[in-house]
Chains A and B, each alone.
Chain A
Amino acid sequence: MNFALNEEQTEIRDSIIRFARQELSVSADEANGFPHAAWRKCAEMQLMALPFPEEYGGCGADFLTTVVATQAFGYACKDAGLVHAVCTQILCGMQINSFGSEELKHRYLPSLVRGEKIFAQAITEAGSGSDALGMRTRAELAEGGYLLNGTKIFITNGPVADVVLVFAVTNPEVSRISGISCLVVEKGMSGFTQCAPMAKMGLDTLQNGELVFADCPVPAENLVGSAGQGAILFNESMEWERCLLPAAHLGTLERIFETSVAYAKGRSAFGQPISKFQAVSSKIVEMKMALELGRLMLYKVATTKDQHKRAALEASIVKLYISEALKKTCLDAVQIHGGYGYMKEYEVERDLRDSIAATIYSGTSEMQQNIISRFIGL
């Protein structure tokens, strides 16, 4: 058991922090649309290339290194929407790399790692959120492939995506586990409409919206994995997702912790720094504990995945623990900052708004509790 990062991981972490501070310093509140310029810089920095094989233009990094890099990105980049968009890109690539045919890998991974095309995955529907496999979007067998019909909602990167991994029912006659497949749909295909971004509480630069498929023909070779493998593919992808997104959240938590420490030590009341008041210091102690405990569990999951072992339970624990800790940390940071915390100038209010979503997407906290409960055998 080794708790230290190696030299390469430390170097990657430090370079990403330098990069984000120097190149991505623009306040996210200045922009409402997708941050294309920042996206391109992230691509040049090879953030999207990290875990992919070199033959597709990737860096060949292991998953722990990717997690450490993502944590650094979440720490130094204040635009949580951009961070989430980049994570989504990586996660789409991991699905193609793990389950896609060689033809699909060669067709999509090079443009994915270079950020030339924006990727999205479409699972959620208006009537099926937490019950993801209750989806109604249909992909019926047709000449040369499938005919796709249905509507997806809240899809991250959806309004700006060039390529979408769409999960749809291919066989309604069998169980939900056996009847769902994953298909690649490209912008411009007939019958495919990308709706305008939806207004949200936070994550302002992240583009989420509806995707509509109306008799959209999808070639058979665009099937990711085999027909009926979609539900299992979805389960597998959740293990990576519930590790990668919390990595970014933990980075943000660390930044907010440091911001709170600096403010509490610099702000005086009743003749002494407010950090000397136990009601304030206790909040910051909780932040520190969440940071340290979250990091241990996060790195454990990433290391487990690098050992090609299953980590569904641990990933759910990480997702639940870090997302809830981030939300609490942000709320406490606003409280510690007092009236200034409520003002946009100090930026912690934005972190709070952004953090709420972390306990909802990629499986709500309640769903993580259900999963953990099942693993315990309850």
Chain B
Amino acid sequence: MIKDSIRHFIATELAVGGANTAITDSDQLLEQGIIDSFGIMTLLSFLEEKFSVHIEGDDLTPENFSSISTISALIDRKAGLSAGA
């Protein structure tokens, strides 16, 4: 569910060069140029609003945004922390 939501946003709003609906969970979003530096800003705003999480400091690493899987794992972790707080 989280992955699909992220995928849809990236495919329709961020993908460099136009909409791209064929992004897999493991596609390297930064290394394959699917998301650029502007896209990261937009993606962060989307993630924080959509999933009610706050991403800052040590979590703001390229590794956490390298693929839909890593982004989803980050959201799971952050949402878990929020729920447990």
Chain A interface residues toward B at CB < 8 A: 98-99, 133, 174-178, 225-226, 228-229, 231-233, 235-236, 308-310, 312-313, 370-371, 374-375, 377
Main secondary structure of the interface of B (DSSP, over half): helix
Interface pair A228/B61, CB less than 8 Å apart: yes
Q: Do the beta carbons of B30 and A232 come within 8 Å of each other?
A: no
Are B31 and A310 in contact, with the CB atoms below 8 A?
Answer: no
- With beta carbons under 8 angstroms apart, the residue of A226, A235, A310, A313 that contacts B37 is A235
Q: Which of B13, B31, B35, B60 contacts A377 (CB 8 A)?
A: B13
Question: Which of B5-41 touch A at CB < 8 Å?
Answer: 13, 30-31, 33, 35-41
A289 and B54 alpha carbons, distance in the complex (Å)? 35
Interface pairs (24), CB distance under 8 Å: A98-B57, A99-B57, A133-B37, A174-B62, A175-B30, A175-B62, A177-B40, A178-B30, A178-B31, A226-B58, A226-B61, A228-B61, A232-B60, A233-B60, A235-B37, A235-B40, A309-B48, A309-B54, A310-B48, A312-B45, A374-B38, A375-B41, A375-B42, A375-B45
Bound complex: CA A312 to CA B41 (Å) = 7
Q: Give bound CA distance, A308 to B57, whole Å.
A: 11
Which residues on the A side are within 8 Å of B54 (C-beta)? 308-309
Answer yes or no: B79 CB below 8 A from chain A CBs.
Answer: no
Bound-complex Cα distance A48 to B38 (A): 30
Alpha-carbon distance A229/B40, docked complex (angstroms)? 12
A235 touches B41 (CB 8 A): yes
A231–B37 touching, CB < 8 Å: yes
Contacts A175-B33, A178-B31, A377-B13 given; indicate if A228 touches B62 (C-beta within 8 A): yes
Chain A residue numbers with a CB within 8 Å of B58 are: 225-226
Closest to B33 in A: A175
Could you say which of B42, B44, B57 contacts A374, with CB atoms under 8 Å apart?
B42
B36: chain A residues at CB < 8 Å are 177
Q: Distance (Å) between the CB of A368 and the closest chain B CB?
A: 12
On whether the beta carbons of A232 and B45 are closer than 8 Å, the reply is no
Specify which chain B residues have a CB less than 8 angstroms from the CB of A226 in the assembled complex.
58, 61
| A-side contacts of B30, CB under 8 Å | 174-175, 177-178
Chain A, residue nearest B66 (CB): A178
Question: How many angstroms from the CA of A6 to the CA of B40 in the assembled complex?
Answer: 35
Are A177 and B37 in contact (CB-based, < 8 A)? yes
